[in-house]
Amino acid sequence: MSEGRDSVGYDQVNKPKHYNVHPSGVECLDVNKHMGYSVGNAYKYLFRNEEKHSDPFLDLRKALQYIRIEIAHREEKEALDKITAKAVRVSEASPKYQGDALFELWLAELEDGRNGIPHLQKAAVIVEKELDRRASGGAGPDR
C-alpha cells in the first residue's frame, strides 16, 4: 500500500473514498470548496453521512453542530476589530509557522475575492516549508 492510499487504492489525502461515492457522481470538494468554513463543514458531514463512520448519527450530529455555529456567527454583532484582535492573539500564541499561516488565512478571509489570493499563497508556502522541514528530520513545530 503506497503512502496516503487506503487498502482499496483511494488516495486518503487528495481523493478519499467517503467524498467520492455519492450517487450523483460529484465529488464533495467540487461544491464544498466554494463555501465558508461552517457551512462547508456541515455540507461535508451531510455529504459523507454513513460513508466514513459506522455510527449513522455521528456525521449528522457534526453537521448540526456546524449549522448552529454558522447561525450564531451570522447573528453575532461582534465588531471586526475584536475578531481581528482574537486572530492576532491566536497567531502570537502559536508556533511560528502556524501563527504566520493562521494570520495569512485571516487576512485572506478579510479580502474580497482575488485580493485574498496573495495571502493564501503565502500561507501555502509557510505550510509547505514546515512540511519540508519536518520531512528532513526537524522534530515538532518550529517555535
Q: Evaluate if residue 117 carries a pLDDT over 90.
A: yes
In 3D space, the residue among 66, 28, 34, 33 whose CA is nearest the CA of residue 47 turns out to be 28
67-84 pLDDT tens trace? 999 888 877 766 677 888
Can you tell me whether residue 33 is helix, strand or coil? coil
pLDDT-derived band of residue 115, with 50, 70 and 90 as boundaries? confident
4-23 pLDDT tens trace? 655 556 666 666 666 677 66
> Would you state the pLDDT for residue 100?
94
Interacting residues of 56 by C-beta distance below 8 A, sequence separation 6+:
49, 50
pTM: 0.52
Interacting residues of 62 by C-beta distance below 8 A, sequence separation 6+:
41, 45
Interacting residues of 65 by C-beta distance below 8 A, sequence separation 6+:
none
> Would you state the pLDDT for residue 18?
64
Residue-range domain boundaries for the chain: 17-75, 80-135
Residue 67, all three cell numbers? 449549522
DSSP state letter for 28: H
Amino acid in the structure at residue 33: K
How far is it, in rounded angstroms, from Cα 49 to Cα 22? 10
Residues in the chain: 143
